Amino acid sequence: MSILFGILLVLHILGLALIIGTFAVQLRAKEGFRTELVLTGAITQVVTGVAMVGVGAANGHTPDMVWVTVKLVIALVVLAAAIAAVVVQRRGGRVQPFFHTAGGLAVVNVLVAVLWP
């Protein structure tokens, strides 16, 4: 089970890199946002995060459910913003608010993950 957890953790970090890396590179952009990369990262983050909680619980680890809930809610808002960015981009609308919401909240989620006591 520890190998499975490790694989999930690597995928979780790669999902995070897709979101924050794309966000950082295109922070000052006015057009041409790579919203599909942010969406892929957001989906990866939610799926692997939930799976890691499940694998951890199966191994007898009791996660802090308040921490898990806060991170999941933020991740779902990131996912919703990424979906909205893709939809708005396909319709030719203004992508920036959704793109920046997804990227900014992904950074907040990292801060919660690292700094939560």
Q: What is the pLDDT of residues 33-55, one digit of tens each?
A: 999 999 999 999 999 999 999 99
Containing structural domain, residue 59: 2-115
In angstroms, rounded to a whole number, what is the distance separating the alpha carbons of residues 15 and 5?
15
pLDDT of residue 97: 96
- Tallying the residues shown for the chain, one arrives at 117
Distance CA(15)–CA(9), nearest Å, equals: 10
Whether 95 has a pLDDT exceeding 90, the answer reads yes
Average pLDDT of the residues in 11-25:
98
Q: Residue 117: is its pLDDT beyond 90?
A: no
1 pLDDT higher than 90: no
pTM of this prediction? 0.95
d(C-alpha 2, C-alpha 96), whole Å: 39
Number of domains, the chain: 1
Per-residue pLDDT, averaged over 63-79, amounts to 97
